[in-house]
Amino acid sequence: MRLSLAVAILAALGASNVALGQNDDAPVKFVIASIQPSPKSPIQAMRIVPPRAGRYELRNASMIDLVRVAYGFDTDKILGGPNWLEMDRFDVVAKLPGEASGENIKLMMQALLADRFKLVAHKETKPLPAFALTVGRKPLLKKAEGSERSGCRMLPGAAVEGGGRIMIGAGVAGPGNPTTINLGPGMTIEYECRNMTMASFTEAMHTMMGASIGPNPVPDETGLTGGWNFNLRFSLSLNGSAGGGSADRITFAEAVEKQLGLKLEPKPVPTPVIVVDSVLRQPTANPPGLAEALPPIPAPTEFEVASIKPSDPASREGVSRMQKAGGQWTSEGMPLRFLITRAFNTSNPDQLAGLPAWVDSERFDIVAKAPATAANVLMDNDILAPMVRALLVDRFKMTYHTEDRPVTVYNLVAAKPKMKLADPASRTSCKNGNAPPGAPPGTRVLTCQNITLDQFADRLQGLTAELRWPVLNLSEIAGGWDFTLTFSQNGAMAFPMGIGGGRGGEPGQPGAALPDDPTGGYTIFQAMEKQLGLRLEPQKRPMPVIVIDHIEQKPTEN
């Protein structure tokens, strides 16, 4: 019965690769599963909670996310289906039948989608936009001797006056611990590649920070054989833009052409995709017996043990990391403000009040061990937050309360709308895209399709540093719309890795847009009115704020 079910599901999808090599006795269904609409959240991202207590959890997952998890296809390779696939979100909690591998969980997810959402889909090959690596006028590569260690690594670079720097985790620049990368003029980074075949180089492109070549494979069409040595220097891409602001800035594609004598040519590439033929918007009802089969897991409220000490003043780098092994949370050189935001799981600084000025200067090193029940889910901020909060209460004697206070929020209103009425059958989405050539650093492009202004207003919260609270749609404009919004973020949001810089005016006031720069230099407020004919109008409204009543500058002894 189990095997026939797996075969039936795969036959309906016109594919067999997912289940190849599976044990005939492997379970292909969850014991029981709960599917609920996700609570409303400004964070448009799925959370996968690692298996614990015999259950598997997906939080805030769109149908696109669910199909991606079930079939292993990237988001851009999931086509077709009704217009709500990217917008409606679900929480899935399922009981696993004993030990389950990743491949078996995929089969279980496929069965769940077929059973509860009546998903019907098929696989095929379609041409999708991508880049191919070709030879330019003359390759500028040096033939490798063959004894060099094959691979590309990011060079730390030399510190330059006015230059930025970034802290990256282990595995990004190469093997080893987290390291500091100094940025050159034009926010450039440099990779050293040794003994690389062109096929290996096209694969490595997707791991290079700031390359921004899209998710699709890059075919090697150079005809070059053997290994090669070369260095590649290009500007760090922020929000898809590496242009503007400096003559030293160079995009990844420009660097490949000018420094290597190769070319990245845009072309359609035949790519496997999965096409959604039909799916229910509302899943069938949850089965009875959920409360007994999936009882709530008590959330850990505090660390088992924690060491806190002031950071070395000579080391100003801050890093927070989790280790699944042993359930250890390590925070090094982070200011107390960071710890407080972790404690309340907020990225909105306006949601915290009463903080003394020294929370930005006092830095601490913390090593804390979580209870065994939270060891493999420590990276979930919802689980980490109460433990950090209890630590601050215990060791820093923090006291706090929540109250409603008037804050500046924004309403979306109509000025002179100039958006395009959407095809009602097109998929509803709002996606980040590449900034136009020559756009200032920090330029962001948001392309929305068949989106209502209620949905757009929800999408605006957290889009820039000014829009920290929910945005209300008061435009009274109905229907779905297509439009593109191009704007420049201010420094705090444009450079999330602490690089610094950015430009733009005060909320609602003229920014630093240049006369010949009709898009990239606009603040979110200017862009909204000039490009969409909408306005963001400020208003004072009471919102819940966490007030820190007391916190000690130094922790109690370990």
pLDDT in tens, 360-379: 999 999 999 888 777 666 66
Instruction: Note down the domain range covering 480.
Output: 408-545
Between CA 538 and CA 541 the distance in angstroms is: 10
Does the structure show a pLDDT above 60 at 291? Answer: yes
Q: Decide if 497 is inside a domain.
A: yes
Identify the pLDDT of residue 178: 58
pLDDT in tens, 160-184: 665 676 766 544 444 445 567 778 8
Tokens representing 79 are 């086509």
Write the CA distances from 500 to 117, 156, 187, 220, 496, integer angstroms. 46, 18, 11, 37, 9
CB-based contact 425:408 (threshold 8 Å): no
Answer yes or no: do 436 and 386 share one domain.
no
Write the CA distances from 415 to 419, 447, 453, 499, 535, integer angstroms. 12, 20, 14, 36, 6
Does the structure show a pLDDT above 70 at 95? Answer: yes
Lowest mean pLDDT among 213-227, 297-311, 328-342, 364-378: 364-378
Mean pLDDT of the chain: 82
The sign one gets for the Cα dihedral 299, 304, 310, 316 is negative
Answer yes or no: do 282 and 314 share one domain.
no
Identify the pLDDT of residue 489: 73
Among 396, 422, 454, residue at a domain's last position: 396
Does the structure show a pLDDT above 90 at 442? Answer: no
Answer yes or no: do 168 and 54 share one domain.
no
Grouping H, G, I as helix, E, B as strand and the rest as coil, residue 3 is: helix
Q: Decide if 369 is inside a domain.
A: yes
Answer yes or no: do 161 and 247 share one domain.
yes
pLDDT in tens, 216-275: 889 999 999 999 999 999 987 654 444 444 566 788 999 999 999 999 999 898 889 999
Answer yes or no: do 101 and 174 share one domain.
no
Q: What is the mean pLDDT of residues 505-510?
A: 32
Identify the pLDDT of residue 102: 75
Q: How much of the chain exceeds pLDDT 70, in percent? A: 79
Answer yes or no: do 115 and 180 share one domain.
no
Among 370, 396, 422, residue at a domain's last position: 396
Does the structure show a pLDDT above 70 at 484? Answer: yes
Q: Decide if 82 is inside a domain.
A: yes
Q: What is the mean pLDDT of residues 344-358?
A: 93
pLDDT in tens, 447-471: 999 999 999 999 999 888 889 999 9
Answer yes or no: do 224 and 279 share one domain.
no
DSSP 37-99: EPPP-S----EEEEEETTEEEEEEEEHHHHHHHHH---GGGEEES-TTTTT-EEEEEEE--SS
Q: Decide if 471 is inside a domain.
A: yes
Q: Decide if 267 is inside a domain.
A: no
Identify the pLDDT of residue 332: 83
Q: Decide if 134 is inside a domain.
A: no
pLDDT in tens, 526-537: 999 999 999 999
Q: Decide if 551 is inside a domain.
A: no
Write the CA distances from 102 to 39, 96, 374, integer angstroms. 27, 12, 20
Answer yes or no: do 120 and 222 share one domain.
no
CB-based contact 268:128 (threshold 8 Å): yes
Q: Decide if 219 is inside a domain.
A: yes
Between CA 245 and CA 111 the distance in angstroms is: 52
CB-based contact 10:114 (threshold 8 Å): no
Does the structure show a pLDDT above 60 at 15? Answer: no
Answer yes or no: do 104 and 181 share one domain.
no
Identify the pLDDT of residue 162: 58
Q: What is the mean pLDDT of residues 369-397?
A: 84
Answer yes or no: do 229 and 280 share one domain.
no
Q: How much of the chain exceeds pLDDT 90, in percent? A: 55
Closest by Cα among 207, 206, 166, 171 to 189 = 166
Q: Structurally, how many domains does the chain consist of?
A: 4
Answer yes or no: do 388 and 483 share one domain.
no
Tokens representing 295 are 């009882």
Identify the pLDDT of residue 137: 86
Among 350, 365, 396, residue at a domain's last position: 396
Answer yes or no: do 482 and 514 share one domain.
yes
Between CA 364 and CA 386 the distance in angstroms is: 19
Closest by Cα among 486, 489, 482 to 519 = 486
CB-based contact 63:429 (threshold 8 Å): no
Single pTM value for the model: 0.76
